[in-house]
């Protein structure tokens, strides 16, 4: 695991939660790649450190996607949901995170 370069408080705020979808489940099963909703100002290095600290697993790589908020309409008014950031975290071979129970295996 990499050494701690960021403050513990910052790392706890980086990962907002797992993304639970059919695609995310297939990625976790097939490639040991997990999808998380992360803070919009988080960097790849911060995300990697946060996963290593929170789950105590070795991270191989991190890919980040900025997701645009959908436009929504209520009657004549048009609004937009917030933009958010999604991170695909690939673990090193032989490691796994069980997000369904909340326990780390």
Residue 97 pLDDT? 86
**What are the tens digits of pLDDT across the range 14-73?**
999 999 999 999 999 999 999 999 999 999 999 999 999 999 999 999 999 999 999 999
Report pTM. 0.85
Residue 6 pLDDT? 85
Where do the domains of the chain lie, and which CATH numbers do they carry? 8-91 (3.30.70.330)
Q: For residue 65, which of 91, 101, 37 has the smallest C-alpha distance?
A: 37
Helix, strand, or coil (residue 18): strand
Residue 99 pLDDT? 73
Element housing 9 (H / E): helix 8-14
- Provide the 8-state DSSP code for 89: E
Percent of residues, the chain, with pLDDT higher than 90: 80
Residue 100 pLDDT? 67
Q: Is the pLDDT of residue 89 over 60?
A: yes
Residue 103 pLDDT? 54
């Amino acid at each position: 695991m990499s050494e701690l370069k960021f403050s513990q408080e910052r790392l706890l705020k980086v990962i907002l939660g797992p993304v639970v979808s059919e695609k995310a489940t297939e990625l976790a099963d097939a490639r040991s790649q997990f999808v998380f909703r992360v803070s919009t100002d988080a960097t790849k290095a911060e995300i990697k450190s946060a996963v290593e600290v929170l789950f105590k697993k070795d991270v191989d790589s991190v890919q980040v996607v900025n997701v645009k908020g959908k436009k929504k309409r209520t009657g004549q008014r048009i609004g937009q949901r917030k933009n958010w950031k999604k991170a695909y975290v690939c673990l090193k071979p032989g490691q796994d995170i069980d997000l369904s129970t909340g326990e780390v295996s």
